[in-house]
């Protein structure tokens, strides 16, 4: 199994496992896994090897790989404490490339051998955090220092993504219906929405600011509604513009996916146009639509990150602040929750989709 | 008194874009008739049928159903009063068999208990297992789906039933069963049935009234035996007659019409009372006798009587 081999190589080769720096902004000095962990390095290596052993049942392999991931995390926390013991309080110990490669390898192995074990790994990581094992790591120090801001950023992020998704639905669903009724209009709409995707996301976010500013100058009454050229408005608008295509496409595809014979039968039996839509077309469109909705939800969580650039806040603000300060851990503090939110949304949406795909 | 036709199509022309699907077609179907529309593909037979429930609107001429012009009624209301079954069946894949069958009664606002009773009756009428009611269409075989489609068409007990090649997509054995089923249902319910088919044998076997179409015009319109008789128009006789129009003609004539007062020889084969002349000929060929007896009759059916059908 390749992920296990890669992870073991990352631990045994001279790659920096931890970086130890005098403060949060200066680049650190790399410490290899063997130097940082000493004989303990054998524990994740053995667990990874066990996880990759095909003769073992899948759940044993997944559990073993999951324990390897947790061991990496816990051991990194311990090693960080040891390294920082004699240094000034401002010193930081952060994860190095070797840690990341080994961690990604271990998680990939979990995914291959039994993805459900991922939940146990997440729970284990929370326990390690709560038990104080990770307190010496720079990422956790950064997180504790900004706990309040982080919590607010997660909520803002979700609110922005939700608003963009709602707006995109409000636009895409009626447009899809119109395009379905008039194929020529549909082709034009498809081209227009696809055109939006060609614009680089950052450019679209930035472009909206002068456009909105001009609009607000022309119609000052909009300002009284709490609208501004900077802040949540451009972020929601730009994200919604990107979400419109997958939503539009899945609604159109879903509407077109209804068996023409069923629609014809419905008509011949005396269903009105509205009933055919409600009783035949929409129920048959749901599974296709659910797929598009899942893509859109994940995209929304990812794209709203760029809202950090236009003053909308959210986790993107942390990422871009970290970028501006060259503070890797601050970037990670923003980026990791985005990743986790996207994964969680995808998992939930997939479960809902499976349900919808199975008619009652 | 002349009975008023249930379906009256008067001088109807239908144009789709530039092409004429039907040209000045007139057709009357009386109550209780089993009328088959036959013709090669593209002859306009489906279009003609769809005029009846306004799935197709005439470009010229009038269509009257039960004496009323179909244009005067809202199309959904008209359609709920006319059963409709088609080759692709078009069952709703997300609804159970019972819900599929109950579609039109639900549209008509029947209460749930009445719909449930009716579904039960129809499952029995179409000889479907009652346990099938809760299944989804994808669990059905082609023949079962076709039966459910017919049950759905009959659900609200319409006096008119339109069937667009309903047996086209099933295997020959199932098709034969379904035909027998339709003949029985027609006999039991006395509904007016309009059947579109490209299978002449099916038309002759089921229908009491056969209409032959070609290029959007009616070529012939009459009782099955008339249309394959030796003096019928050659195109019609070719289309309906298969390779042996003479035999097919005999199969549509009752043997009783050729009864001879002379008694059959002892030991001769005995025909059923509803046997055709073709049945009589077949028995004669098997037995080598020159006459066959008939159930409940003193006389006999003789070879010269069969061959005298022409006279």
Domains of chain B: 1-76+189-243 (3.40.50.300), 253-310 (no CATH)
Boundary of a domain, candidates A74, A107, A138: A138
Q: Do B91 and A265 touch (CB under 8 A)?
A: yes
Interface test with B, best of A269, A276, A278 (most B CBs within 10 A): A269
Q: Does B79 touch chain A (CB under 8 A)?
A: yes
Write the DSSP symbol of residue B83.
E
Q: Does A269 touch chain B (CB under 8 A)?
A: yes
Q: Do A265 and B92 touch (CB under 8 A)?
A: yes
A241 and A131 both lie in a single domain: no
A170 and A104 both lie in a single domain: no
- Cα A174-A175-A178 angle, rounded to 5 deg: 90
**Minimal CA separation from A175 to chain B, in Å:** 25
pLDDT digits (tens, 9 = 90+) for B254-292: 888 888 888 888 888 888 888 888 888 888 888 888 888
Closest CB to B84: pick one of A262, A269, A279: A269
pLDDT > 80? residue B172: yes
A69 and A182 both lie in a single domain: no
pLDDT at residue A300, as a whole number? 93
From first to last of its 360 residues, chain A has per-residue pLDDT tens of 788 999 999 999 988 999 888 887 777 788 898 888 889 999 999 999 998 888 888 888 889 999 999 999 999 999 998 888 888 888 888 888 899 999 999 999 988 888 788 888 989 999 998 888 888 888 888 888 888 888 999 999 999 999 999 999 999 989 988 888 888 888 888 888 888 888 888 888 888 888 888 888 888 888 888 787 788 888 888 899 889 889 999 999 888 888 889 999 999 999 998 999 889 998 888 888 888 889 999 999 999 998 888 888 888 888 898 888 888 888 888 898 899 899 888 888 888 777 766 544
Q: Do B79 and A268 touch (CB under 8 A)?
A: yes
Select the more confidently predicted residue: A6 or B241.
A6
The alpha carbon torsion through A22, A26, A32, A36 (nearest 10 deg) reads 30
Q: Do B88 and A261 touch (CB under 8 A)?
A: yes
pLDDT at residue A290, as a whole number? 87
Q: Does B169 touch chain A (CB under 8 A)?
A: no
Q: Which residues contact A289 (CB under 8 A, 6 or more apart)?
A: A250, A251, A254
CATH number at residue A349: 1.10.3720.10
A121 and A154 both lie in a single domain: no
Closest CB to A272: pick one of B76, B91, B92: B76
Could you tell me which chain A residue has the CA closest to the CA of B52?
A268
Could you tell me which chain A residue has the CA closest to the CA of B104?
A269
Q: Provide, rounded to the nearest whole percent, the portion of chain A with pLDDT above 70.
A: 99
Domain residue limits at A290:
147-357
pLDDT at residue A233, as a whole number? 87
Q: Are B54 and B87 in contact (CB under 8 A)?
A: no
pLDDT digits (tens, 9 = 90+) for A280-307: 998 888 888 888 889 999 999 999 998 8
- Name chain B contacts of A274, Cβ cutoff 8 Å: none
Q: Is the dihedral of CA A58, A60, A63, A68 positive or negative?
A: negative
Q: Which residues contact B232 (CB under 8 A, 6 or more apart)?
A: B220, B226
Q: Do B90 and A270 touch (CB under 8 A)?
A: no
**Minimal CA separation from B89 to chain A, in Å:** 7
- Cα A73-A74-A78 angle, rounded to 5 deg: 120
B58 to A349, B64, B194: CA distances (angstroms): 49, 12, 18
A287 and A262 both lie in a single domain: yes
Q: How many domains does chain A have?
A: 2
A172 and A299 both lie in a single domain: yes
Helices (H) and strands (E) in chain A, counts: 17, 3
**Average pLDDT value over all residues in chain B:** 89
Question: How is chain B split among helix, strand and coil, in percent rounded to 5?
Answer: 40, 25, 35
- Name chain B contacts of A356, Cβ cutoff 8 Å: none
Closest CB to A265: pick one of B75, B76, B86: B86
A196 and A322 both lie in a single domain: yes
- Name chain B contacts of A272, Cβ cutoff 8 Å: 76
Q: How far apart are CA B223 and CA B288, in angstroms?
A: 32
Is ipTM strictly over 0.90?
no
Q: Do A262 and B91 touch (CB under 8 A)?
A: yes
pLDDT at residue B113, as a whole number? 95
Q: Do B90 and A262 touch (CB under 8 A)?
A: yes
Question: How is chain A split among helix, strand and coil, in percent rounded to 5?
Answer: 80, 5, 15
pLDDT at residue A119, as a whole number? 85
A314 and A204 both lie in a single domain: yes
A204 and A66 both lie in a single domain: no
Boundary of a domain, candidates A105, A138, A171: A138
In three-state form (DSSP H/G/I as H, E/B as E, the rest C), the secondary structure along A135-204 is CCEHHHHHHHHCHHHHHHHHHHHHHHHHHHHHHHHHHHHHHHHHHHHCHHHHHHHHHHHHHHHHCCHHHH
Instruction: Count CB pairs under 8 A between chains A and B.
Output: 63
Q: Does B77 touch chain A (CB under 8 A)?
A: yes
pLDDT digits (tens, 9 = 90+) for B38-74: 988 889 999 999 999 999 999 999 999 999 999 898 9
For A91-124, b where at least 16 C-beta lie within 10 A, e where not — what string?
bbbbbbebbbbbbebbbbbbebbbeebbebbeeb
Boundary of a domain, candidates A106, A138, A170: A138
Interface test with B, best of A261, A263, A268, A279 (most B CBs within 10 A): A268
Q: Are A232 and A317 in contact (CB under 8 A)?
A: no
Q: Does A225 touch chain B (CB under 8 A)?
A: no
Q: How far apart are CA A176 and CA A257, in angstroms?
A: 13
Q: Do A284 and B91 touch (CB under 8 A)?
A: no
Q: Does A273 touch chain B (CB under 8 A)?
A: no
Q: Does B90 touch chain A (CB under 8 A)?
A: yes
Q: Do A268 and B92 touch (CB under 8 A)?
A: no
Q: Provide, rounded to the nearest whole percent, the portion of chain B with pLDDT above 70.
A: 98
Crossing angle of helices A232-257 and A201-218, rounded to 10°:
110
- Name chain B contacts of A270, Cβ cutoff 8 Å: 75-81, 104, 107
Interface test with A, best of B84, B87, B89, B94 (most A CBs within 10 A): B94
Closest CB to B92: pick one of A262, A267, A360: A262
pLDDT digits (tens, 9 = 90+) for A337-352: 899 899 888 888 888 7
- Name chain A contacts of B165, Cβ cutoff 8 Å: none
- Name chain B contacts of A264, Cβ cutoff 8 Å: 86, 88, 90
pLDDT at residue A360, as a whole number? 42
Residue by residue, DSSP assigns A274-338 as HHIIIIIIHHHHHHHHHHHHHHHHHHHHHHGGGGGGGT--SHHHHHHHHHHHT-HHHHHHHHHHH
pLDDT digits (tens, 9 = 90+) for B204-218: 889 999 999 999 999
Could you tell me which chain B residue has the CA closest to the CA of A356?
B94
Q: How far apart are CA A318 and CA A25, in angstroms?
A: 15
Q: How far apart are CA B279 and CA B308, in angstroms?
A: 15
A56 and A176 both lie in a single domain: no
A83 and A198 both lie in a single domain: no
3-state DSSP assignment of residue A15: coil
- Name chain A contacts of B103, Cβ cutoff 8 Å: 266, 269, 271
A152 and A126 both lie in a single domain: no
């Amino acid at each position: 199994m390749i992920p296990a081999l890669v992870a073991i190589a990352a631990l045994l080769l001279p790659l920096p496992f931890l970086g130890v720096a005098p403060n949060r902004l200066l680049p650190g000095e790399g410490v290899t896994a063997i130097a940082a962990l000493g004989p303990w390095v054998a524990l994740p290596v053995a667990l990874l090897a066990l996880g990759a052993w095909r003769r073992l049942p899948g759940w044993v392999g997944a559990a073993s790989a999951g324990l390897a991931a947790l061991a990496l995390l816990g051991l990194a926390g311990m090693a960080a404490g040891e390294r920082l013991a004699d240094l000034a309080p401002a010193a930081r110990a952060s994860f190095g490339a070797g840690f990341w490669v080994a961690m990604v390898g271990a998680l990939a192995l979990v995914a291959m051998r039994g993805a459900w074990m991922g939940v146990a790994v997440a729970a284990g990581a929370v326990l390690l955090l709560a038990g104080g094992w990770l307190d010496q790591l720079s990422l956790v120090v950064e997180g504790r220092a900004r706990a309040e801001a982080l919590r607010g950023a997660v909520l803002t992020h979700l609110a922005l993504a939700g608003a963009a998704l709602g707006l995109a639905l409000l636009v895409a669903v009626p447009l899809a219906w119109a395009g379905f009724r008039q194929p020529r209009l549909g082709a034009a709409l498809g081209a227009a929405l696809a055109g939006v995707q060609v614009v680089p996301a950052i450019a679209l976010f930035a472009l909206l600011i002068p456009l909105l500013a001009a609009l607000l100058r022309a119609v000052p009454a909009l300002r009284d509604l709490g609208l501004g050229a900077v802040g949540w408005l451009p972020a929601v608008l730009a994200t919604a513009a990107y979400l419109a295509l997958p939503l539009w496409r899945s609604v159109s595809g879903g509407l077109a996916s209804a068996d023409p014979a069923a629609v014809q039968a419905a008509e011949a039996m005396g269903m009105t146009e509205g009933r055919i839509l409600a009783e035949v077309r929409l129920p048959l469109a749901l599974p296709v639509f659910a797929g598009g909705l899942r893509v859109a939800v994940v995209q929304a969580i990812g794209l709203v990150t760029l809202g950090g650039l236009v003053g909308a806040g959210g986790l993107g603000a942390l990422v871009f602040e970290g970028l501006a300060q060259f503070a890797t851990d601050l970037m990670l503090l923003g980026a990791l929750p985005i990743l986790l939110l996207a994964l969680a949304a995808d998992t939930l949406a997939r479960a809902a989709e499976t349900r919808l795909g199975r008619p009652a | 008194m002349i009975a008023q036709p249930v379906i009256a199509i008067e001088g109807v022309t239908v144009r789709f874009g530039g092409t004429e699907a039907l040209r000045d077609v007139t057709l009357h179907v009386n109550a209780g008739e089993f009328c088959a529309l036959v013709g090669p593909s593209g002859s306009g037979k489906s279009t003609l049928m769809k005029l009846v429930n306004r799935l197709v609107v005439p470009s010229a001429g009038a269509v009257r159903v039960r004496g009323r012009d179909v244009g005067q009624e809202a199309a959904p209301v008209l359609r709920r009063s006319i059963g409709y079954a088609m080759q692709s069946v078009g069952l709703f894949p997300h609804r159970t068999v019972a819900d599929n069958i109950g579609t039109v009664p639900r549209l008509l606002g029947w209460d749930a208990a009445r719909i449930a009773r009716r579904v039960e009756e129809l499952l029995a009428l179409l000889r479907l297992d009652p346990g099938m009611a809760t299944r989804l269409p994808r669990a059905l075989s082609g023949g079962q789906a076709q039966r459910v489609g017919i049950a759905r068409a009959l659900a609200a007990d319409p006096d008119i039933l339109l069937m667009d090649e309903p047996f086209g997509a099933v295997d020959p054995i199932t098709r034969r069963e379904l035909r027998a089923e339709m003949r029985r249902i027609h006999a039991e319910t006395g509904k007016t049935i309009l059947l579109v088919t490209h299978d002449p044998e099916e038309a002759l076997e089921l229908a009491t009234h056969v209409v032959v179409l070609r290029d959007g015009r009616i070529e012939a319109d009459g009782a099955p035996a008339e249309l394959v008789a030796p003096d019928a128009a050659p195109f019609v006789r070719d289309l309906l007659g298969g390779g042996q129009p003479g035999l097919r003609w005999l199969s549509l004539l009752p043997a009783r019409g050729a009864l001879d007062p002379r008694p059959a020889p002892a030991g001769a084969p005995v025909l059923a009372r509803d046997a055709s002349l073709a049945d009589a000929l077949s028995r004669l060929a098997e037995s080598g006798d020159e006459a066959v007896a008939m159930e409940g009759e003193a006389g006999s059916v003789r070879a010269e009587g069969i061959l005298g059908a022409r006279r």
